[in-house]
Amino acid sequence: MLVYAQLQQSNEHQKWNNYNQLNIHYAALYRDIPEELEATSCKRFDKLTVSGKKWIRSYFNLYSEEHYLYQQNLIPEEMWTKRIDNGVEVNMLSYPVIVEGYEKWKERGSFKHPEEFVIFVDAKIAKLRTKLDEVLAQCKKSVTPIKALEPKKL
């Protein structure tokens, strides 16, 4: 019984260690986010530089690794559901260009991810499609300069 408890504790510790290693990789990826992706959520994939396009590919490569570790029960479930997967949804809605990038890279046959990951991401995008379309519609509206919103003086 004691050996089982120690093994279970060791496995739980390793899951957290795996999660922490992913966080280090994620922090490095975000530290190196190209300025063009930070500046606007309205930029289109075909207008990105090569580094912007590669960054999106790296983002989904990391997400695929995280998904695999989650599927293999090698990271804590609560971190997957509350932090990683939820965070990807937030990023997709905040920066729809990453969704467009995912679709372009997939279309080119450039992603060599496990089929279950592709199905998973496609389903997530389908679930968010209405909200994504709303975000993109806002990008097409003209923006009123702040100066024009100042009250008129009498």
What is the chain's mean pLDDT, rounded?
82
Yes or no: say if 84 and 70 are a contact pair by the CB < 8 Å rule. Answer: yes
Residue the block writes with tokens 């389903």:
123
| pLDDT at res. 152 | 44
**Could you give the 3-state DSSP secondary structure of residue 37?**
helix
Yes or no: say if 36 and 43 are a contact pair by the CB < 8 Å rule. Answer: yes
Give 101's pLDDT tier (boundaries 50, 70, 90).
very high
| Whole-structure pTM value | 0.79
Q: Which residue intervals of the chain are DSSP H helices? A: 2-31, 35-39, 50-71, 77-79, 85-94, 97-107, 115-140
Residue 58 pLDDT exceeds 70: yes
For residue 134, give Cα distances in angstroms to 62, 102, 140, 154: 27, 19, 10, 38
Q: What percent of the chain has pLDDT over 70?
A: 81
How far apart are alpha carbons 93 and 28 in whole angstroms?
Answer: 22
19-28 pLDDT tens trace? 778 778 788 8
112-154 pLDDT tens trace? 888 899 999 999 999 999 999 898 888 765 444 444 444 445 4
